[in-house]
Structure 1
């Protein structure tokens, strides 16, 4: 089994709960081939017109050095995803959504003909259905309540894209929330959550061993 860890927080584990979650999962994952794609450490220009211009020049065979850099960055993300059987996303809720660097990773792999397609009836067909995903999400507030859940656009977004559009089977989710809203209970909240992260890694290790 090949496992890709997508790390989406460049704050140290001493300050960031999702970084703690990433480290805990990696430390307890056994018997699998592991690679990490750190979206903050990689060269990942934002997706936009420069990319579309590069796509056009690629078809014309007139790529510039900058075009090659952009297309190589996109291809690296796609290659990392292609090689994995299981993808583990460790990410925080920042300003109600995912970090921009993780959004760029999603933009790179969100490609018709690669992660999805449209059939003759115009319906979306996921293309990554053979892959599995695990989400490790941290959010300082409490967004699991019915009142706050509609505002939460990090885990919900990842579910909709990775599980919906791409068709990957989401086999586990661990959410640590409320540690900033309740500082007196923060240590206990985080500790309990990290035990769940450890259990998720051990469960995946057991599956790999079968």
Structure 2
């Protein structure tokens, strides 16, 4: 199996629970091909006019600016990585109720008509990544799993809506660690239990013969 791990937190594990989750997954995954795409280490210009200008210049044969070349190359790399993967694992925090901006750029890069979705003759959206699976490893210091707070959670929900809904990928695992900031007295237990679940996910995906 080819697994792509999208790491979306550049804070050290000593300070960031989702980084701990990433490290726990990588430590326990064996017997498969694993590639990490670190959104904070990659050159990822934000989606905007530079990309659309680049598309136009490719079509017309005009010379592109440096940023136009960079964003086209970054977008292609993200799509190539997803194309090569059978499973995409997203490791990310909830920041200000949503995903980190760099992770948003990764999603923007692969969110392309003709690649991850298309429209049929009736104008209906058709997912194109139905042969792929995805998993979520996410941490949030507050509690967003109650009926009152769930509507505010726009990180894991967003990834599931886009990858699972629009792209047609199958969600196979989801580990959420939450409440460690809201309940500091229980933080150590909350994090340890969550990391144990991450380890179990990694071991379940491993292809190791005894």
* Deviation (angstroms), 1:69: 1.6
- What residue number does 1:133 align with? 134
- What residue number does 2:105 align with? 104
* Deviation (angstroms), 1:63: 3.0
8 Å contact kept, 2:45–2:70: no
* Deviation (angstroms), 1:60: 0.4
* Deviation (angstroms), 1:70: 1.6
- What residue number does 2:45 align with? 45
Task: Give the whole-Å Cα distance in 2 for the aligned partners of 1:96 and 1:9.
Answer: 15
- What residue number does 1:58 align with? 58
8 Å contact kept, 2:97–2:153: yes
The answer as to 2:9 corresponding to 1:22 is: no
* Deviation (angstroms), 1:71: 0.5
- What residue number does 1:197 align with? 198
Q: Deviations over 1:99-128 (max 9, x none)?
A: 000000000000000000000011100000
Which of structure 1's runs of 4+ aligned residues deviate more than 3 A? none
Q: Deviations over 1:135-171 (max 9, x none)?
A: 0010000000000000000010000001011110000
Q: Please tell me the root mean square deviation across aligned C-alpha atoms, in Å.
A: 1.0
- What residue number does 1:180 align with? 181
The TM-score normalised by the length of structure 2 is 0.97
8 Å contact kept, 2:93–2:140: yes
Q: Which runs of 5+ in 2 are unaligned?
A: none
Task: Give the whole-Å Cα distance in 2 for the aligned partners of 1:65 and 1:123.
Answer: 36
1:29-178 correspondence to structure 2 within 5 Å: 29-66=29-66, 67-178=68-179
Q: Which runs of 5+ in 1 are unaligned?
A: none
Task: Give the whole-Å Cα distance in 1 for the aligned partners of 2:3 and 2:54.
Answer: 31
Task: Give the whole-Å Cα distance in 1 for the aligned partners of 2:155 and 2:40.
Answer: 17
* Deviation (angstroms), 1:65: 4.1
8 Å contact kept, 2:7–2:38: yes
Task: Give the whole-Å Cα distance in 1 for the aligned partners of 2:71 and 2:63.
Answer: 10
Task: Give the whole-Å Cα distance in 1 for the aligned partners of 2:31 and 2:112.
Answer: 32
The TM-score normalised by the length of structure 1 is 0.97
How many residues are paired up?
Answer: 208
